[in-house]
Amino acid sequence: MKIITRSVAINNLKKYIGKNLRELALKNKITTYETGKQNKGWKGLILERLAGLETNISKAPNGLSWELKSVSFYEVKGKLIPKETMAITMINPKELKETEFFDSHCWNKLKAIIFCAVKWHGKNSNDGQLIKVVSLDFSENDDLIKEIKTDYDFIRNKLIKKGFSALTGKDGKWIQARTKGTGGINPKTEKRRPITRAFYARTILVKKIFELSK
């Protein structure tokens, strides 16, 4: 099995800066939306391929190496602004109760992130362009991390005191607990699927990461 280190992945990805990701997706036989369906995750999938990952590492088991993320950027007054928040990892209520920030998946993913900025061209954007690839190494002593930890602890406390359903996307300065899941109705049971949540990086955090990487 081939090991792709972070620096190898970054070098691989950098070759594609400025390229149209849709063409690359087509070449790699990744479904985008041509089938009439809406695959929202295709950009992430193609980036994983381009990084050199032959198999899918969508979930870093436990040893984990690094995390690849992409975010859409939108141009406002000549500046690039993160259009969306960035999903970090799922929240497992039990785990969140029992886990310290620095032991959490959230931190483990955040600290070894490879961050891809993709230009967004509107709804159903079909020609996303890779504009930047950066990696980031957080330190446990960074002020930013301390504040993120504060958010994590806040959300954790709320979970413990008020329960999972009390969580909302309003919480947190840098990270938030948004709903995330398959959604809709389960065609088999015709019942609502359970609501799940995940940690998201707010746009200001995304912006911060983008700036820190210069």
Partner DNA sequence: CCATGATCATTA
Partner DNA sequence: TAATGATCATGG
The distance from CA 142 to its chain's CA centroid, rounded to whole angstroms, is 21
Does position 25 interact with DNA (CB under 7 A)? The reply is no
Among 4, 24, 26, 81, binds DNA (CB under 7 A): 81
- In this complex, which beta carbon is closest to DNA, that of residue 179 or of residue 213? 179
Per CB under 7 A, the segment of 8-16, 129-137, 148-156, 178-186 that binds DNA is: 178-186
Residue 37 as a binder of DNA (CB under 7 A): the answer is yes
Residue 18 in contact with DNA, rule: CB under 7 A: no
89 counts as binding DNA under rule CB under 7 A? yes
Judge whether 172 and 197 are in contact, CB under 8 Å: no
Q: What's the token pair of residue 214?
A: 């210069």
- Partners of 199 in the beta sheet? 89, 177
β partners of residue 177:
199
Residue of 1, 2, 3, 35 that binds DNA (CB under 7 A): 35
Q: How many CB atoms lie within 10 A of CB 43?
A: 23
With beta carbons less than 8 A apart as the criterion, state whether 53 and 4 touch: yes
Candidate residues 178, 201, 205, 206; the one interacting with DNA per rule CB under 7 A: 178
Which of these ranges, 5-13, 88-96, 138-146, 152-160, lies near DNA under the rule CB under 7 A?
A: 88-96
Q: Does 125 bind DNA (CB under 7 A)?
A: yes
Say how far residue 44 (Cα) sits from the centre of its chain.
9
Taking the least distance from each CB to DNA, the nearer of 55 and 141 is: 55
The answer to whether 188 contacts DNA (rule: CB under 7 A) is: yes
Identify whether the C-beta of residue 132 lies closer than 8 Å to the C-beta of residue 192.
no
Among 22, 43, 149, 156, binds DNA (CB under 7 A): 43
- Does 22 sit near DNA (CB under 7 A)? no
Binding site for DNA (CB under 7 A): 31, 35, 37-41, 43-45, 47, 55-56, 58-59, 67-72, 74, 76, 81, 83-87, 89-90, 92, 116, 118, 120, 123-125, 128, 168-170, 176, 178-184, 186, 188-189, 193-196, 198, 202-204
